[in-house]
Amino acid sequence: MKVSILMGSTSDLEVMTPAMKTLEEFGIEYEKRVISAHRAPDLLREYVTTARDRGVVTIIAGAGGAAHLPGVTAAMTTVPVIGVPILGKALGGLDALLSMVQMPSGVPVATVGINGSKNAALLAVQIIALQDESTLAKLEAFRKQQTEKIVNTII
């Protein structure tokens, strides 16, 4: 089982890096690709329609602006797609957020917050943990540690 991290441009790489780091922390295998839905639609189709056969169980897709990458990806596969709206040069990232969250009925994109690639990775970890005991153990340890950090915080 592995995760795919897709992004529309190399300019998205910085925002998507926390997703990669998070998957690495959990020891989850992932592949990463830059494929624009607008600039390389044929390549995107080829990549997405073969993802399941490569063992991909979740696709995390980040894009900014007229962010069609997650929606178009979701249209071409039944593998769950998590969208990461990326803050662009205008509109405070709302353009990307709304284009992901407002998908038409029947083709969902599970959308996280603007620039929320870490949460996207954590959702992917949770999906994998449904079927993988060792990932579940790591996830429970992560949650416990997170809770302890808060509980033990003295200001």
The residues of the shown chain that bind ligand RP5, judged by CB under 6 A, are 8-9, 11-12, 36, 63-65, 86, 88
Closest CB to ligand RP5 among 16 and 122?
Answer: 16
* CB of residue 73 to ligand RP5, shortest distance in Å: 12
* CB of residue 128 to ligand RP5, shortest distance in Å: 25
Is 37 in contact with 93 (CB distance < 8 Å)? no
Closest CB to ligand RP5 among 65 and 71?
Answer: 65
H or E element, residue 87: none
* CB of residue 122 to ligand RP5, shortest distance in Å: 21
Cα 19 → chain centroid = 7
* CB of residue 61 to ligand RP5, shortest distance in Å: 9
Closest CB to ligand RP5 among 36 and 119?
Answer: 36
Burial of residue 81 (CB within 10 Å: 0-12, 13-18, 19+) is: buried
* CB of residue 6 to ligand RP5, shortest distance in Å: 10
Closest CB to ligand RP5 among 88 and 116?
Answer: 88
Q: Which residue is nearest to ligand RP5 (CB)?
A: 8
Calpha distance 105→71 (Å, rounded): 12
Closest CB to ligand RP5 among 27 and 92?
Answer: 92
Q: Name 145's Cβ contacts closer than 8 Å, sequence gap at least 6.
A: none
H or E element, residue 4: strand 2-7
Calpha distance 6→14 (Å, rounded): 13
